[in-house]
Structure 1
Amino acid sequence: MMDNDTRKDIPTLQWFPGHMKKAQRLIEENLKLVDVVIELLDARIPASSANPMLAEIIKDKPRMIALNKADLADSRSTKEWLDYFRGQGIMAVAIDSVKGKGMKQLVRAAEELARPKTEKFVSKGAKARAARCMILGIPNVGKSSLINRLAGAVKAKAANQPGVTRAKQWIKIGSNLDLLDTPGILWPKFEDQTVGLKLAFTGAINDDIYDREQVTALLLASLRQNYPERLVERFKFKGEMPTDGLELLEAVGRKRGCLVKGGIVDLEKAQNIVLNEFRAGKLGLVTLDGVPVDMAEQQEEEKNIE
């Protein structure tokens, strides 16, 4: 959550490279080949990392949601998001593709969703085949790492840079599941600029296209508002922390010795520290998107009734 003053300072972020339009066409052309769509979201930003174009693209194709990087997210918030999706009738699981947590649950869920289609083939006299799934998600959400974990080998090219996977790849997962990997796609325009900002925080948008100093300051301001104890613990603040994001960035730089001649803070070095440590989970388990208020209230009422 961000206050009104912070929202005024949010930069305009747009990123829709040509290869992403090509990726969209690739998805639309190959959708008929799969039984199930697995939408991979970042557990730290489940709403901001959900591509609103996908619902229109996949239409009535069975889909499930996998909240990846759950090891970096607030576990309570992750549970709330899983309940939210399941309450909408969407199968959802939390996973950590790097450590392999939730892999069996993910595969079982995908096979279950595909079963009506695969059993239909057999009932018509066709030879039984593996369930076919398409993994979709924005850049740098962890698709390649997930496939590599499922396949047990480096099958898909993985990198900590958005937009690395460019062409479709079929990858066999055991005898019951085939995965079609596709490039990550963002959307042409962020209607809510806080969405673009959160994508920048997590590295889904290329760091070279925005003002890193401004974005890093806004990240610190958000953490100061929602997770102040994490900043105190990580950067050893004593007493009252600055409320302004840029002042916080300078304070972090001083704490970490990012000084140049004259005792001036090297802001670029300080930015790198903050962004890298946030993305690696060193600032603690953080979720920046909250479940929609109306749904959260409904879930709380249902718990009280029970």
Structure 2
Amino acid sequence: MPIQWFPGHMHQARLEMQAILPKVDLVIEVLDARIPYSSENPLLAELRGDKPCLKVLAKSDLADEAMTETWLSHFEQTVGVRAHAVTTDDVPTIRKLKQIAIRMLPHRRGQKINAMIVGIPNVGKSTIINFLAGRKIAKTGNTPAVTKHQQRVTIGDGFALLDTPGMLWPNVHNVNSGFRLALLGSVKETAMDYAEVGFFAAGFLGAHYPDRLAERYNLESIPTTELEIIEAIGRKRGCLGKMNLVDIDRASRILVTEVRSGGLGLLTLETPETMEEEKVKTAAAIAAKAEATKAKDAQRKKRFRDKQRAQRKSREME
């Protein structure tokens, strides 16, 4: 299920971000601690170049604590990058982000600092801005794309934040990343299929957190396929239709909703190691698709040339 959700305001946000970056001292990228890789925007890495970057792993209260520490160490292996985990209700920790950012710019000590804060939709960026500012500045909501336009927010000590709309990239080539983004609510419902996302969640949880599934849905054993897991959940939750058949969509929605809310406990859906493996596979898939497109174009051109030669030969014989 390749995700292709790039509303017009996101395209405009990319252009505005590209234009303003030369005037920015530091980038603060807000990530979802449950999917630090999949919520990391590759367009930002391309645009920011060597500017210092503070990666904030939000919603860490919903993620596996040990894996969050692993991801923090992983990000800080990159030169110019610091990483810090926060929760949406830990105001003191969030307010420390300003001082962390200031320390990353010792050459700007005593001068005004402009930081751009970015993040995918529904990652909690606006909540962080409001806590840093000490007042409600940015709109918050549990749906993607609440922020539509850039705005400048002064948060004291000569420190200003440039808030940008939550931005996905035009195509999420890594299919698993697309599913993870949809599963955690970063993609609007109109751009996803609940059954497909539910199957992905069932497969992942069955493989990595079977005990959570068994406990949450009172299952004596975990079925072996995604469909069977969804059906088992549906029967336990009364998602039955005609002829006592499970309503797959309803059962999938229950699973997706409870993963998002933390109903299945603290979950991290990816590790640095699995992401490296997926990057290799994704690159190979992109290359294979490009090669197939190239071959298809060559065949189309050959058919066109053959048709032209046949038409010329027909005219010569007249």
Pairwise same-fold verdict (TM > 0.5): yes
Structure 2 equivalent of residue 251 of structure 1: 232
Farther off after superposition, 20-29 or 253-262: 253-262
Query: How far, CA to CA, are the matches of 1:144 and 1:206 in structure 2?
Result: 18
Deviations 1:150-203 (A, max 9, x none): 223321011111112111111222334221110111112222211111111111
Q: Distance in 1 between matches of 2:261 and 2:185?
A: 11
1:80 paired residue number? 70
The residue that corresponds to 2:164 in the other structure is 182
2:199 alignment partner, one of 217, 220, 228:
217
| Displacement after TM superposition at 1:12 (Å) | 2.6
Q: Aligned residues: percent identity? A: 42
Give the 3-state SS of the residue equivalent to 1:292 in structure 2.
helix
Equivalent residue for 1:96, pick from 67, 79, 87: 87
The letter for the 1-side match of 2:96 is Q
Amino acid at match of 2:225: D
- 3-state SS of 2:165 partner: coil
Distance 1:101 1:197, change over 3 A: farther
Match of 2:136 among 154, 167, 177: 154
Q: How many residues matched?
A: 275
Aligned-residue RMSD, C-alpha: 1.9
Secondary structure class of the residue paired with 1:199: helix
Runs of 5+ consecutive residues of structure 2 not aligned to the other structure:
277-318
Unaligned runs of 5+ in 1: 1-10, 120-127, 296-306
What's the counterpart of residue 279 of structure 1? Answer: 260
* Corresponding residue of 1:300: none
Q: Secondary structure at the match of 2:91?
A: coil
One of 216, 220, 224 as aligned partner of 1:234: 216
Is 183-192 or 37-46 further displaced after alignment? Answer: 183-192
Letter paired with 1:105:
K
Structure 1's 247 and 101: CA in aligned 2 closer, same or farther, altered over 3 A? farther
Q: Equivalent residue for 2:249? A: 268
> Does 1:206 find its partner at 2:196?
no
Partners of 1:103 and 1:150 within 8 A in 2: yes
Residue in structure 2 matching 1:163, options 145, 148, 154: 145
Partner of 1:290: 271
Greater helix content: 2
8 Å Cα contact 1:147-1:155 kept in structure 2:
yes
- For the Cα contact (< 8 Å) 2:31–2:57, is it kept in 1? yes
Return the letter of the residue paired with 1:15: W
- Determine which structure has greater relative contact order: mean sequence separation of CA pairs < 8 Å that are 6+ residues apart, divided by chain length: 1
Q: Is the 8 A contact 2:197 2:256 kept in 1?
A: no
Q: Is the 8 A contact 1:114 1:132 kept in 2?
A: no
Deviations 1:69-106 (A, max 9, x none): 11111111000011111122321101113443621432
Name the residue aligned to 1:195.
177
Give 1:52's aligned residue.
42
Kindly tell me: are residues 224 and 149 of structure 1, through their superposed partners in 2, closer, same or farther at Cα, counting changes over 3 Å?
Answer: same
Structure number with bigger Rg: 2
Measured in 1, the distance between the counterparts of 2:250 and 2:133 equals 38
Q: Secondary structure at the match of 1:213?
A: helix
Q: TM-score, normalised by structure 1?
A: 0.84
- Aligned to 1:112, which of 87, 103, 108? 103
Residue-by-residue CA offset, 1:241-289 (whole Å, 9 max, x unaligned): 1121122112111112223354332333322221111111111111111
